[in-house]
Amino acid sequence: MTTEVFCRTSPSLALVKYWGKKSTRHNLPATPSLAVTLGGVHTETRVRIADIDTVRLNGELLTLDRFTPLFDSLRRAAGRKVRFQVESSNDFPSSAGLASSSSGFAALTVACARILELELSPAQLSAFARSASASAARSLFGGFTLLPAGGFAAEQLYGPEYWPELRILVVLVSREAKPISSRAAMEATRLSSPYYHAWLRNAGQLLDPALRALETRDISALGSVVRLSYSRMHAALLASSPPVLYWLPNSVAILRECQRLRDEGIDAWETMDAGPQVKVLCLASEVAAVSERLQAVDPRLKIIVASVGEGPVCQVGER
Ligand code: DP6
């Protein structure tokens, strides 16, 4: 009989974006990020003790370079030299700009810590996850989360029940893996974009208005800040050398449709990450109207309706 730990997490969607590192060595974010954990989309990870480290994502064996530092630091903390056999799957496209690294590294951290019998607080788990991928620090919690600039761990600001009417429509513009990883693109922005420092200065200034809008659950006030955050992040990216452009024609068509909806008085506020997918914030009462209009942009687009999600769920079993 082998012990197996199962962990399910949800991706963390940034409303105010993390883009750029204060320290590449310790993977500390240069900008604060405010995020919502997406309910209804999941990563599921199973970990067992084995003779060698292996990681499979959706059945495919991955190279270990992104994983070994996390495994080593957890092994060091536990004072154990065991190896991990990891099988992970996402019920949404991986590496396509849907924050799969946030839920993936969060699930991996929780499952490995559990199998090592490490007694860690949520903040300590968040710090381990952050060292592997900064957005993963936020997936350690449900609801609305904050990872400060230079922060080691994320914190939960409000639980999932705080805003039950909020919906996030995830519009899948393409299922292909992104041309350049967020990590590489972030580094390219830092090293070659003349707008990088302006982005850093401004990113910090967007946090307060976003927090105030969240405090009053004001979707249009929040949406306007969300829109500025992703637009400015992508402006800095596009000014890199060579330029990085994640948007596809249908991404732009969706952004324009959101603008038309807003012109008609319907709150539909889009955001984008390191990929062509568009995520649209709206209220539950307007999901049908917004989805119908976005679907009409291109009937081939898949739209997933997410709500505000829970933090990790973990189980220990025998197999
Ligand atoms: C655009 O967390 O994937 O989704 O720390 O290098 O692993 P690393 O980067 P990652 O970057 C996420 C960037 C983003 C914005 C965000 O989630 O805040």
CA 230 to centroid of chain Cα atoms: 13
Tens digits of residue pLDDT in 241-277:
999 999 999 999 999 999 999 999 999 999 999 999 9
User: Which residue puts its alpha carbon closest to atom 18 of ligand 1?
Assistant: 18
What is the rounded average pLDDT for all residues in the chain?
Answer: 95
Tens digits of residue pLDDT in 129-173:
999 999 999 999 999 999 999 999 999 999 999 999 999 999 999
Q: With a 6 A CB cut-off, is 273 part of the ligand 1 pocket?
A: yes
| pTM, entire model | 0.96
Tens digits of residue pLDDT in 190-241:
999 999 999 999 999 999 999 999 999 999 999 999 999 999 999 999 999 9
Q: Which residues pair with 317 in a beta bridge?
A: 4
User: Which residue puts its alpha carbon closest to atom 6 of ligand 1?
Assistant: 183
Q: With a 6 A CB cut-off, is 274 part of the ligand 1 pocket?
A: yes
Structure tokens at 255: 């952004």
In this predicted structure, what is the pLDDT of residue 36? 98
**Best of 15, 26, 135, 272 for a ligand 1 pocket test (most atoms within 8 Å of beta carbon):** 135
Element holding 250 (H helix, E strand) = helix 249-263
Q: With a 6 A CB cut-off, is 133 part of the ligand 1 pocket?
A: yes
Element holding 86 (H helix, E strand) = strand 83-90
